[in-house]
Structure 1
């Protein structure tokens, strides 16, 4: 038995298709573009713990430059346009090699660096990073970047002396005595780092602001 569609039914179907073309498809396209932009250019990160204190506090919201180390095909490691590489002192976002959790830590050493960590204090290639090197006090200096440390819980596990392999970086938390970092899960692939944290834009008790990292 053949079925026929009434004039009213055909009109409704036409209206639905017309609405999809005019309204729904542009919305879907916009959402896809926004998702691509977040994956490729800029995103934000919610800090869940105190492992980066005092630089980052629990609850901080951080702007992340997703293109800092190259413009990539969204959700892949494929680089379309190379820009920079992770540098010592960068606060970077990446997935833990241990369990895949999204983390934010400081890049403290890059390929070829020899690293010694004693009592929470770094020496890179024989050069102590403490501002007061003789006393081993003050913040650590990564070129133009300054990293204030939290050593209230001690320095955590020492690193007696290792060389960072090619294609890798070493990441540590600024709260050296309370940070699950490279001392536990090892080196991180340099090309696995998603982006560089730029600034804290919201902090509990302070609200909106712009504190550069």
Structure 2
């Protein structure tokens, strides 16, 4: 800058740097809507796995890379698996929900008194009836409000999933609003990184 030259000021700085700033903001927005984000748990429908107020890291690209702000998938990735904790819009009213995928296409599912069986096999053991295992995924059930509606020997069609809350008697889930298209799930929860009363944590889901 010459000796008598005035600083460019805010307007001049915006003219020179504003374009780069705008590009950076767009890239950050794309990254947030396409790859990683977070979700704040609003209710107790997933207790004891998730508690109200939990902040959950989610992978927005787990089931496919989408054009930001749309449902258009550019690149297919994984398919939803039993036990995944997922984020999606309720088929009933469009509210954003977080629930567990408990059954996928081809599964024959029953839910009796809140306890789940897939293809005739209970997911909980007699010694630990409030813990269900979906492969490596553990669901710690809350049955203090009962088990909610039963499901009797239903087969899930291809391309659909049944989602339920782990607080089986206190969850508005697929037993009320029906099955959810697998393609409608737009994020998979990875873990809890903040819990009220504890602060920073990492509880993998």
Runs of 4+ in structure 1 deviating by more than 6 angstroms, as ranges, are 14-17
Alignment-derived partner of residue 99 in structure 2? 105
Go from structure 1 to structure 2 and tell me whether the alpha carbon gap of 1:109 and 1:26 turns closer, same or farther (over 3 Å shift).
same
**What SS does the aligned partner of 2:94 have?**
coil
Greater Cα radius of gyration, structure 1 or 2: 1
1:204 paired residue among 185, 196, 199: 196
1:94 aligns with 2:52: no
**What SS does the aligned partner of 1:177 have?**
helix
2:167 paired residue among 171, 175, 178: 175
Q: Is the 8 A contact 2:130 2:143 kept in 1?
A: no
1:88-130 per-position Cα deviation (integer Å, ceiling 9, x unaligned): 0000000000000000000000011111100000011111111
Q: Is the 8 A contact 1:86 1:190 kept in 2?
A: yes
**What SS does the aligned partner of 2:25 have?**
helix
Root-mean-square deviation (CA, aligned residues, Å) is 1.7
1:42-83 per-position Cα deviation (integer Å, ceiling 9, x unaligned): 000000000000000000000001111111111222222222
Q: Count residues in correspondence.
A: 198
1:148 aligns with 2:140: yes
* Structure 1: tracts of 5 or more residues without a match: 1-13
* Structure 2: tracts of 5 or more residues without a match: 1-7
Structure 1 length-normalised TM: 0.88
